[in-house]
A and B are shown apart, each in its own frame.
Chain A
């Protein structure tokens, strides 16, 4: 089935369920005051904005802060439209209403080629697909933070909500002062009129409530004062004095602590638990058996008076385990199985252009390479945890989660109550990277809390459990093949890849409503391969979606994280094969992709591509689009005593309209360092069902002494905001690998790189 055919059939099936609904306009996301928490001395003007008595603003915040700066960025968006200082915006966790659902995250799952929308005017197929998914997304109301989508998603609804609130406040003042609304100005939340009248928002909030100003316009970008500035983040002070509250920092009266131990064999379970020695330890209260929940392995939790006592108890339980029913998992066997699949299967075609067969037949020269990437763990600094209390038929959870709507559903299911009996408090997240889009640890905490007679319990995983029971970035393998004509010009590019599809497995675990009876093609498998910007006349990209049984999940930048390594390394191989400079080779292929070209040129210029380097140093370049943003990176490397060292990474990014360039720079730095840990060292092996890496000693990270200097340069544009949290990661591995090739002449085609450098 052709790509377009299956998209439309999938969307059509959805549409058929909702005949009549399809012609209605998309559901408004403005919401109503009732969507916000009823609080004293604060007046809600819609589903997003409340005005406090002192004139400050309360913003309903549905997105999770995990380091990416989203609380600051979204606060800036409303502060701008309301003409208040950033420090005048406070946050209140958004409730469960569908207006807070993340529509842009779902839009990101559509497998359209980004070049189709490059000119700013989207083709009908793209517009139709996006329109249907937008409508669906607004109905579903999946409240989640992921896919680098928060600013993109909140951009229109938040500006509209803030501008509407401002207009109603101005209208209220105009009515009281009996002056035209157009003559009132607002600065720092203070309304003023030339007559000398003035007052702050708090004085007009009651009168503004219920007003419904029509035709409210958002600000012209030329009038922005705050947007586009590197405003200091609002969460930094609490993160320097120990007061920031992460999931593990929740403290409640009479709270107990629990430690988990899950089957060391992934997917396995206990055959017997001897708890006698554990229960005899001081402070240990009870052992609670845990079934496999939302994709986790089965195991048990030990409840005690502190986490340490619980950890001691968990080690003291004498457990016998058995493998999962389908047999033991083994990464060596999976690697071989992927190659067998690549030999036998043709896969699903994500992109087909020109006549690949004819081009290959008439080729003068063929260049072919096999690439692979291993399983990876997320290793957030804050291990998985959740605090839960189950009392009087009600469930309350405190969780560092990226997906409160699914956490709520999982908690309700675990406790056997309706979702209306569940309250979710989202804490700060000590890293997310996709791991906290899962809800296994939420259900576990609720199951344990059901056994503690109404007392709250904080369930905390050890680092060993966290690394051994992750939802891993899947292993992928790819075969790339290009042909040259008699003049040495590249005529065709064919990419066939294989690896597990994540989205259908994740939906089964976290959003069962979306899980279908059969797996639809998953864009995340082929993103970064089918959507290249280069003007090769003949292209064919296909993917073989496997289901090897290892729990797989979204890992920062998802398919792009390994596919960019495959595609951008191979582009470098083609440059070498045609005796072209890697930068010039890319430039020559980007004539129809001016945004990509501008980003590439900026990175090259700032890195002084081609200029002299110290002896033993070399540069590599890579260019990649993901999550609506284009990033180019130039890495400068050396190899000293067999150890690859990255000295400097120069990044250029076009992420559309920039909310906060300081946060963009932070995210580039962050993506480079995380990408470098993965590129140099990252690898999860599974032998006889058991994950072999269990802590930072054998799953090492780049540290301060090894960290490169990272520079960020931003291409200024006025397009809709793209993503920022993830797009800096994919180009890092190929930039480093291409630099190592320039230095050593050795092409590295598998990750991680460190052992091969």
Chain B
């Protein structure tokens, strides 16, 4: 099947019910997206599909033909980290780091539709599980990045659309 991942047209050899997560990880070697629970409970596998956060462990790749899939590997661009990535570093968010790709992709989708989220907005959008307890730094980093959007450094257009258009 033909997929559009991080702005590139990609051929995937996948059965219709094969979740996107395993196409990314085991066929395309895009290992930044993580396996955590397999049933959409933890959010470690979060990617964006047409800008929306999607849990790739339960989403068949075949349902995403013609859509723009964006993974952590394209959150920033070469030489320019996404405002959220910069904020993540400034706030020293990650510990073990395993859940952080999913956190970042969920946060980026949130900021794309709501550039200045309230605490309640963040509570509602960020349902990913982190066993290291990085939550308060995640919150602080989203607020920090939201501040940065005012100086227009945040990339709100999915990279996939820019390239494939």
Chain A residue with Cβ nearest B102: A381
**Chain B residues with Cβ under 8 A from A246's Cβ?**
34, 97-98
**Chain A residues with Cβ under 8 A from B94's Cβ?**
67, 233, 235-236, 239-240
**Chain B residues with Cβ under 8 A from A612's Cβ?**
none
Q: Does A68 contact B (CB under 8 A)?
A: yes
Contact-residue bracket for chain B: 35 or more
Q: Does B64 contact A (CB under 8 A)?
A: no
- Over the window 425-447 of chain A, the binary record of Cβ atoms lying under 8 Å from chain B Cβ atoms (1 yes, 0 no) is 00011111100000000000000
**Chain A residues with Cβ under 8 A from B19's Cβ?**
308
Q: Does B144 contact A (CB under 8 A)?
A: no
Residues of B6-61 at the interface with A, using a CB-CB cut-off of 8 Å, are 15, 18-19, 21-22, 25-27, 29-39, 41-42, 44
Looking at chain A's contact residues, is the secondary structure mostly helix, strand, loop, or mixed? Answer: loop
Q: Does A701 contact B (CB under 8 A)?
A: yes
- Determine if B42 and A381 form an interchain contact, defined as CB atoms under 8 angstroms apart: yes
Chain B residue with Cβ nearest A701: B129
Chain A residue with Cβ nearest B33: A242
Chain B residue with Cβ nearest A308: B22
With contacts A239-B94, A240-B94, A381-B36 taken as known, whether A672 is within 8 angstroms of B71 at the C-beta atoms is no
Chain B proximity of A702: nearest CB distance (Å): 8
- Determine if A240 and B85 form an interchain contact, defined as CB atoms under 8 angstroms apart: yes
Q: Does B76 contact A (CB under 8 A)?
A: yes
- Over the window 347-384 of chain A, the binary record of Cβ atoms lying under 8 Å from chain B Cβ atoms (1 yes, 0 no) is 00000000000000000000000000000000111110
A13 to B112, CA, bound (A): 67
Residues of B127-164 at the interface with A, using a CB-CB cut-off of 8 Å, are 127-139
- Determine if A670 and B132 form an interchain contact, defined as CB atoms under 8 angstroms apart: yes
- Determine if B35 and A707 form an interchain contact, defined as CB atoms under 8 angstroms apart: no
Candidates A236, A307, A381, A662; contact of B131 at CB < 8 Å: A381
User: What is the number of residues of chain A that contact chain B, defined by CB distance less than 8 Å?
Assistant: 63
Residues of A235-277 at the interface with B, using a CB-CB cut-off of 8 Å, are 235-246, 248-249, 251, 257
**Chain B residues with Cβ under 8 A from A65's Cβ?**
96
- Determine if B42 and A240 form an interchain contact, defined as CB atoms under 8 angstroms apart: no
Candidates B15, B27, B95; contact of A670 at CB < 8 Å: B95
- Determine if B133 and A673 form an interchain contact, defined as CB atoms under 8 angstroms apart: yes
**Chain A residues with Cβ under 8 A from B21's Cβ?**
308
Q: Does A418 contact B (CB under 8 A)?
A: no
A249 to B101, CA, bound (A): 13
**Residue with the greatest number of chain B CB neighbours at <10 A, chosen from A308, A462, A695:** A308
Candidates A235, A242, A702; contact of B73 at CB < 8 Å: A242
**Chain B residues with Cβ under 8 A from A251's Cβ?**
29, 31
- Determine if A239 and B73 form an interchain contact, defined as CB atoms under 8 angstroms apart: no
**Chain A residues with Cβ under 8 A from B38's Cβ?**
311, 462-464, 695
**Chain A residues with Cβ under 8 A from B35's Cβ?**
248, 307, 383, 460
**Chain B residues with Cβ under 8 A from A242's Cβ?**
30-33, 71-73, 75, 101
Chain B residue with Cβ nearest A248: B35
With contacts A308-B19, A382-B34, A670-B133 taken as known, whether A68 is within 8 angstroms of B42 at the C-beta atoms is no
- Determine if B97 and A239 form an interchain contact, defined as CB atoms under 8 angstroms apart: yes
**Chain A residues with Cβ under 8 A from B104's Cβ?**
240
**Chain B residues with Cβ under 8 A from A249's Cβ?**
31
**Chain A residues with Cβ under 8 A from B101's Cβ?**
242
Residues of B83-113 at the interface with A, using a CB-CB cut-off of 8 Å, are 85, 88-89, 92-101, 104
Q: Does A696 contact B (CB under 8 A)?
A: yes
**Residue with the greatest number of chain B CB neighbours at <10 A, chosen from A251, A670, A702:** A670
Chain A proximity of B75: nearest CB distance (Å): 7
Q: Does A156 contact B (CB under 8 A)?
A: no
Chain A proximity of B80: nearest CB distance (Å): 11
Q: Does A601 contact B (CB under 8 A)?
A: no
Candidates B18, B73, B92, B133; contact of A236 at CB < 8 Å: B92
**Chain B residues with Cβ under 8 A from A248's Cβ?**
25, 31, 34-35
Q: A383-B36, A669-B137, A670-B132 are in contact. List 10 more A-B contacts (CB 8 A).
A: A67-B96, A240-B88, A242-B33, A431-B131, A463-B37, A670-B133, A695-B38, A696-B41, A703-B135, A710-B136
A-binding residues in B (CB < 8 A): 15, 18-19, 21-22, 25-27, 29-39, 41-42, 44, 71-73, 75-76, 81, 85, 88-89, 92-101, 104, 122-124, 126-139
Closest 6 pairs (CB-CB, A-B): A242-B32, A673-B133, A430-B98, A239-B97, A67-B96, A67-B95
**Could you name 26 residue pairs across A and B whose Cβ atoms are closer than 8 Å?**
A67-B97, A233-B92, A236-B93, A241-B76, A241-B81, A241-B85, A246-B97, A257-B26, A282-B15, A307-B35, A379-B131, A380-B98, A381-B44, A382-B36, A429-B96, A462-B38, A669-B136, A670-B95, A673-B133, A695-B41, A702-B135, A704-B123, A704-B135, A704-B139, A707-B133, A707-B136
